[in-house]
Amino acid sequence: MEVVPSIRPLLAIAVSALAAFLILLTGERRRNMRELWTILASLTKFSIVASMIPTLLAGKVIECTIISLSPGIALQFRVDAFGIFFATLASVLWIATSIYSIGYMRGLKAHAQTRYFFCFAFALNGALGVAFAGNLLTLFIFYEILTIATFPLVAHKETPEAIRGGRKYLAYLLTGAALVFFSMGLTYHLTGTLDFVGGGFLRGHGSNSILRLLFATFILGFGTKAALMPIHEWLPTAMVAPTPVSALLHAVAVVKAGVFCVLRVVLYVFGPQLLSDLNLWLILAYFAAFTVIVSGMLALAQDNLKRRLAFSTINNLAIIIMGAALLSPSAITGGIFHIAGHGFMKITLFFVAGAISVKTHKENVSELDGIGRMMPLTMGSFAIGAMGIAGTPPLVGFISKWYLCLGSLEAKEIVFLFVLLTSALLDIAYFFPIIYRSFFNRPKEQGNSGFNEASMLMVIPLTVCAIISIILGIAPDAFFHFFQVATLAAKSILGIG
């Protein structure tokens, strides 16, 4: 594979760190200027990331080595198909979230907005670093930056509840990070390297029992961020964060970074061959399948809209991990593609929840009667996102589920086909009541039920995301070449073509 040296990965990461400091210097007094930095940084970031896609599609890899950190380990960025996939997703959605955040934070007259935008930019810095990291140590550095930068965002409201949420978030994620730290040390001890290799590099190092232990600590470590059950508890609690945070970080950047890291470990550290030798893939797949079903059921029981979405997120994250664990070409492609598909759909749903709460201060599903008449665009987008997550064609969710189902057949594990179908039914069961209530029930309190949408700064991003999830369902390669890149990543992992 041809390697192209380039500084672009570093620039793409650094641009939001730079923006973060500009935001801090500009401050609350000149808030339009401060927001300008956020928007500019998100656009620049996306264009740098997008400029790398053609090189990747040509089958090349972009590399950027900064400095040696420890014998045999460098601070190195290595952009491969899988990395660019996640980076594109995160940077596109950051643009949408930036615009939405401005509407949301100003709509609520929130305090400490400078800190909010500072941390947000820093979190994105972490997310892209995770995407581009060429080895485990680099990945870990940015993983931790992401964790720490998100803490002030979770606790943003500074109510006792928010602070508890923040503490819980830190407790889970730092414990997970400690496990990752240990696993990383053990990996280095066994192999003397930490560089990712498509198809894994651990094979032939260490005894089977050590490798099994290593796998467990890795998955438990990164699994905290990916909210695998039973270590998912922080995610519903973290829903006390402002909605844009939940939208971008708890639907895309943070949790997806967790999933991304799990997939990196499964596919690029252990590799399909070793996992099938040790029979670990099946255990991981069952573990994920358990999460899929249980979180789907728990979502049914939530009345708070954001908590329901949180459980739905847990459900979908587990689906992605399950896909990767099945190790068949279609399942890996479907799993990777679902990272993007779910990203667009779930961010739409969270944006809707935020728009509702800014406009009407309602946060519970049971209060949503008739809200579709008041906010048709918003709830229409919600319906699109919800149906997409349930896997209705022609939405983007259908494509990924189709490939996942195919993949479970390819892996000759029919159980997982049923898990996927059951989860689709559960999706319908917890989303459709919301759609029904909002469009077909009459509002409980009379008056003021005419057209009354939230600020355009919020409505436009959420409708755009909904529209993109339709377009991606019809043409999965539209705009960002997501499907092509996902296929490319799957191929490089499995060593085909």
Please say which residue, 76 or 463, places its beta carbon nearer to other proteins.
76
Q: In this structure, are residues 105 and 113 in contact, taking their beta carbons and an 8 Å threshold?
A: yes
Least distance in angstroms from the C-beta of 71 to other proteins? 7
Check residue 362 for interaction with other proteins (CB under 8 A). no
User: What part of residues 59-78 is at the interface with other proteins (CB under 8 A)?
Assistant: 66-71, 73-75
Least distance in angstroms from the C-beta of 238 to other proteins? 15
Least distance in angstroms from the C-beta of 23 to other proteins? 14
Give the end-to-end CA distance of the chain in Å, rounded to a whole number: 11
List 86, 188, 196, 201, residue binding other proteins (CB under 8 A): 188
Least distance in angstroms from the C-beta of 344 to other proteins? 31
Q: Give the DSSP letter of residue 74.
A: E
Specify the DSSP element, H or E, that contains 4. Answer: strand 3-5
Q: State the number of binding residues for other proteins (CB under 8 A).
A: 36
Least distance in angstroms from the C-beta of 278 to other proteins? 20
Structure tokens at 262: 């799990």
Least distance in angstroms from the C-beta of 69 to other proteins? 4
Distance CA 12, CA 43 (A): 11
- Tokens 């590099």 — which residue? 201
Scanning 9-17, 142-150, 196-204, 487-495 for contacts with other proteins by CB under 8 A, the matching segment is: 142-150
Q: Give the DSSP letter of residue 324.
A: H
Scanning 151-159, 305-313, 369-377, 472-480 for contacts with other proteins by CB under 8 A, the matching segment is: 151-159
Kindly give, in sequence order, each residue whose CB lies less than 8 Å from that of residue 491, ignoring residues fewer than 6 positions away: 329, 497
Least distance in angstroms from the C-beta of 67 to other proteins? 6
DSSP lists the bridge partners of residue 135 as 195
Identify the CA nearest to 188 among candidates 130, 133, 137. 137
Kindly give, in sequence order, each residue whose CB lies less than 8 Å from that of residue 43, ignoring residues fewer than 6 positions away: 95
414-440 and 280-300 helices cross at what angle (nearest 10)? 20
Q: Give the DSSP letter of residue 442.
A: P
List 3, 28, 54, 189, residue binding other proteins (CB under 8 A): 189
Please say which residue, 186 or 417, places its beta carbon nearer to other proteins.
186
Please say which residue, 86 or 140, places its beta carbon nearer to other proteins.
140
User: What part of residues 235-254 is at the interface with other proteins (CB under 8 A)?
Assistant: none
Check residue 122 for interaction with other proteins (CB under 8 A). no
User: What part of residues 160-179 is at the interface with other proteins (CB under 8 A)?
Assistant: 160, 163, 166-167, 170, 174-175, 178-179
Least distance in angstroms from the C-beta of 156 to other proteins? 9
Q: For residue 95, how far is the Cα from the chain centroid?
A: 15
Helix (H, G, I), strand (E, B) or coil at 236: helix
Distance CA 87, CA 75 (A): 18
Kindly give, in sequence order, each residue whose CB lies less than 8 Å from that of residue 466, ignoring residues fewer than 6 positions away: 348, 380, 381, 384, 385
Check residue 144 for interaction with other proteins (CB under 8 A). yes
Please say which residue, 182 or 432, places its beta carbon nearer to other proteins.
182
List 14, 17, 18, 141, residue binding other proteins (CB under 8 A): 141
Cβ neighbours, 10 Å, residue 433: 16
Sheet arrangement for strand 61-70: 3-5, 61-70, 73-79
Least distance in angstroms from the C-beta of 125 to other proteins? 12
List 43, 182, 199, 422, residue binding other proteins (CB under 8 A): 182
Q: What are the CA-CA distances from residue 274 to residues 54, 199, 249, 416 (Å)?
A: 32, 9, 32, 21
Please say which residue, 148 or 429, places its beta carbon nearer to other proteins.
148
Q: In this structure, are residues 420 and 319 in contact, taking their beta carbons and an 8 Å threshold?
A: yes
List 40, 60, 168, 181, residue binding other proteins (CB under 8 A): 181
Check residue 159 for interaction with other proteins (CB under 8 A). yes
Please say which residue, 85 or 151, places its beta carbon nearer to other proteins.
151
Please say which residue, 216 or 409, places its beta carbon nearer to other proteins.
216
Least distance in angstroms from the C-beta of 38 to other proteins? 20
Check residue 140 for interaction with other proteins (CB under 8 A). yes
Q: What are the CA-CA distances from residue 339 to residues 63, 342, 387 (Å)?
A: 24, 6, 17
Distance CA 257, CA 173 (A): 12
Kindly give, in sequence order, each residue whose CB lies less than 8 Å from that of residue 488, ignoring residues fewer than 6 positions away: 56, 57, 59, 81
Distance CA 382, CA 347 (A): 10
User: What part of residues 281-320 is at the interface with other proteins (CB under 8 A)?
Assistant: none
Mark residues 86-115: x for contact with other proteins by CB under 8 A, - for none. -----------------------------x
**Interacting residues toward other proteins by CB under 8 A:** 66-71, 73-75, 115, 137, 140-141, 144-145, 148, 151-152, 155, 158-160, 163, 166-167, 170, 174-175, 178-179, 181-182, 185-186, 188-189
